[in-house]
Amino acid sequence: MRMLETMSPQVEPTSGVRSRAVRVPKPTAETIRRLKSHLGVLSTTALKYLDQSLPWYRSLEPAERAALGLVAQKGISTFVTWYEEPESTPAWVMNDVFGAAPSELTRSISLQKALALLRTIVEVVESQVPDIAAENEQAQLREAVLRYSREVAFAAADVYARAAETRGAWDSRLEAHVVDAVLHGESQDSLSSRIAAIGWKSQKNIRIMVGATPASSSVTFVAALRRVAQRYASDSLVGVLGDRAILMLSDTKFEEADLTRFARFFGPGPIVYSPLASTVSQMHTAASAAVAGYGAARAWEQAPVPVDADDLWPERVFNGDPLARTALIERVYQPLVHAGNGLLQTLSSYLALGHSLEGTARELFVHANTVRYRLKRVSEVTGWDPLVARDAFVLHSALVLGRLNEPG
């Protein structure tokens, strides 16, 4: 998690930090004087302790280490200022301590590391208590350190909570831009840059699903869908476009049949998934197929959920999709033409004669087994079986479109 720039002094300190007066007995002037005189020792000890006890601190860049050291020093000096007036409201703690951190540092320091830094400051100050306060004030000083650390912890939690909200809103906007870019066919270089910006590492074998946006909160829906997607794909992206929800999965780790695991997250109605896009350059075509399939799926009442966009070629053609028209001609009709051996004529007669094997055999003056063999070859060539009613409808549609496409 990144703090982003919410750790800067511009953050309003009163909106999220717990604000209350801390009732601590007022320290003596001698203790305050000794605390101030030990600031240098405390800061030096804290920096040494950071280097010795926190391995991640040693791996930081010099500039980052210097900035973290500044935060530690600021935390100690702010404690002394607060301890002088322990009944004052410490709402300024967040800006006074975390405001010392530059925005660049916030990209590399997680909440866990920030709390480790806080623990280091507490341990260092506590270790120096016997040298700073008189024996009768040591317990009071230790209690003040713990109270102060609590205030800083609340401040840190508030900083990171705001950072998470800001980042979540920003990531959602980035994802919306990526979805829009995919649907509008933005150039590959631009699209690759946008995808990289949202953290996608794998940009191959991309599957796109389109379904209805559920009536429940979109935030809950998106979070639940992402959790499942993380288990079965390298990267995922969810876009909500009004009543449509679009899920993009990269480098999926399952077969098409397993896409049913995502169906329960969408709203009622059809869910359509695209052909596999092997690269980013094919994402627009895949997305267009899924969107067109979603628009036409209501015409096939018996369609499975989810359904392959390619299984909706006839409905997509009737709904005005040129991609489906081209696919039926190039991937069904033309292969039959090139296959020869009477496959196209046999299929045409079989469909025209009400799917009658004997009637087709009489029409073509061949044996019924020859018709069966040819229809089997049609299934092998096209992937669609004429003996199955739905497949026969797809083949019939391809024949009509292919004939209309022929010159003359």
pLDDT in tens, 244-259: 888 888 887 766 657 8
Q: Rounded to 5 degrees, what are φ and ψ at 386?
A: -65, -20
The pLDDT score that the predictor gives to residue 60 is: 76
Query: Does residue 37 or residue 158 have the better pLDDT?
Result: 37
Domain finish residue from 290, 312, 334: 312
Q: In the chain, pLDDT over 90 holds for what percent of residues?
A: 32
The pLDDT score that the predictor gives to residue 32 is: 81
Confidence band for 1, pLDDT divided at 50, 70 and 90: very low
200 and 136 in a common domain: no
Cα 63 to chain centroid, rounded: 31
240 and 268 in a common domain: yes
Q: Which domain holds residue 41?
A: 4-165
pLDDT in tens, 81-122: 777 776 654 455 555 555 545 444 555 566 677 777 777 777
233 and 154 in a common domain: no
149 and 200 in a common domain: no
**pLDDT score of 191 more than 80:** no
Has residue 252 been placed in a domain?
A: yes
Average model confidence (pLDDT) across the chain: 79
**pLDDT score of 169 more than 60:** no
The answer to whether 174 and 197 are in contact (CB under 8 A) is: yes
Confidence band for 160, pLDDT divided at 50, 70 and 90: low
Alpha carbon distance 125, 150 (integer Å): 14
Helix, strand or coil, per DSSP, at residue 279: strand
261 and 154 in a common domain: no
Structural domains of the chain, count: 3
Domain finish residue from 134, 165, 196: 165
* Burial (Cβ within 10 Å: 0-12, 13-18, ≥19) of residue 291: buried
Domain finish residue from 117, 133, 165: 165
11 and 150 in a common domain: yes
The pLDDT score that the predictor gives to residue 107 is: 53
pLDDT in tens, 278-290: 888 888 899 999 9
What is the CATH number for 49?
1.10.490
The answer to whether 287 and 258 are in contact (CB under 8 A) is: no
Has residue 286 been placed in a domain?
A: yes
What is the CATH number for 254?
3.30.70.2730
Dump the DSSP string for 203-243: -EEEEEEEEEPPSS-HHHHHHHHHHHHHHHEEEEEEEEETT
Has residue 170 been placed in a domain?
A: no
272 and 131 in a common domain: no
Has residue 317 been placed in a domain?
A: no
Q: Rounded to 5 degrees, what are φ and ψ at 289?
A: -65, -45
**pLDDT score of 392 more than 50:** yes
Query: Which residues have a Cβ under 8 Å from the Cβ of 206 and sit 6 or more positions away?
Result: 248, 249, 250, 251, 276, 277, 278, 279, 280, 282, 283, 286
The pLDDT score that the predictor gives to residue 7 is: 39
146 and 193 in a common domain: no
109 and 42 in a common domain: yes
**Least confident among 217-226, 336-345, 399-408:** 217-226
Structure tokens of 55?
């391995």
Query: Does residue 52 or residue 216 have the better pLDDT?
Result: 52
The pLDDT score that the predictor gives to residue 17 is: 40
Has residue 180 been placed in a domain?
A: no
